[in-house]
Structure formats: C-alpha cells, structure tokens
C-alpha cells in the first residue's frame, strides 16, 4: 500500500513557516535556524506563494556576494517557480519529483492554498515505515 502525502501531514502537521519577500537574507537565516528547518516558503500578504528560499540559496548568495548578501532581500535569491504536490501524491512520486528537480522540499497545495510542506527527511521516514510494513507482511505470509 503506498503512503500518501495526506498520511505524512496527518502525523507531522500542516504548519508551514513563511516569510515576507522583503525580509533580509540575514533574518531569513535566523528564521531557518530558530525553526530548525531547511526551507521557508515566501508568500505575499494574501498568502499567495511567491517562491521558496532554502539553505542552498543562502549558501549560493553568500558564495556569490560575500557578507553583503546578508543585507539583500529574500526575493532577490529565492526560486520563483515552485514545484508543489498534493495530499494525493505518493512517496514514489515524491522521490521522483525531488530527484528530478534536485531539491529537498515540496510545498503541498490543497484547494489552491498552501497546506503543508514535505522534506526529503519526511519521505525517507515514510519509505522506511512502508518497507517495514511490507517486511512484516512477507514474514507473516511465510510463517502462516
């Protein structure tokens, strides 16, 4: 049985840390650190998704501009074209999307609104649980 994004969110919750596009890179780094996360979704005042900003973008900005990057705005370095998934997306699909797009975060959209975020860590956890369940079924089948 595949595991769906909905089941992952039911366990981990649907809260998404968002930031304003005008926030400085320095403040965005503090936000990532304080929430112990690797990505924030950038939204406007209506909650519409404008982009995604991750630790990778932080590293790229600092590598390109040095410490001056810290004063620039999130909107200058965020990825504007955000790939999303839905609650009906399976772990197999998540792995394919993340591997193909070379990113580790996938915001979830439901009814046109932000409804959670899946990280590669969530996918690994779900896959392990999937494999464990399959192993239990096989053991029960062999034993019985």
- Angle (deg, nearest 10), helices 55-65 and 25-35: 150
Q: Is 19 in the site for ligand AMP (CB under 6 A)?
A: no
Region binding ligand AMP by CB under 6 A among candidate stretches 3-11, 24-32, 66-74, 102-110: 102-110
Q: Which of 19, 32, 39, 69 binds ligand AMP (CB under 6 A)?
A: 39
- Rule CB under 6 A: choose which of 54, 69, 91, 122 binds ligand AMP: 54
d(CA 118, CA 11) in angstroms, rounded, equals: 12
How far is residue 105's CA from residue 107's CA, in Å, rounded to a whole number?
Answer: 7
- 104 forms part of the interface with ligand AMP (CB under 6 A): yes
For residue 123, the minimal CB distance to ligand AMP (Å) is 12
Chain centroid, CA 130 distance in Å? 20
Is position 79 an interface residue for ligand AMP (rule: CB under 6 A)?
yes
Q: How far is CA 118 from CA 9, 27, 70, 87, in A?
A: 8, 23, 27, 10
Residue 113: both structure tokens together: 């609104």
Q: Which among 22-30, 47-55, 64-72, 123-131 is the span making contact with ligand AMP, rule CB under 6 A?
A: 47-55
């Amino acid at each position: 049985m595949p595991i769906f994004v909905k089941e992952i969110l039911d366990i981990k919750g649907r809260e998404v840390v968002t930031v304003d596009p005008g926030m400085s890179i320095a403040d965005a780094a503090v936000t990532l650190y304080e929430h112990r996360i690797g990505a924030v979704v950038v939204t406007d005042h209506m909650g519409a998704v404008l982009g995604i900003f991750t630790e990778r973008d932080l590293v790229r900005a600092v590598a390109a501009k040095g410490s001056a990057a810290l004063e620039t705005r999130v909107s200058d370095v965020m990825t504007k074209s955000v790939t999303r998934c839905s609650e009906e997306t399976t772990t197999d699909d998540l792995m394919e999307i993340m591997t193909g797009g070379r990113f580790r975060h996938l915001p979830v959209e439901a009814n046109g609104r932000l409804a959670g975020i899946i990280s590669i860590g969530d996918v690994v956890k779900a896959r392990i649980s999937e494999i464990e369940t399959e192993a239990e079924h096989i053991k029960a089948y062999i034993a019985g």
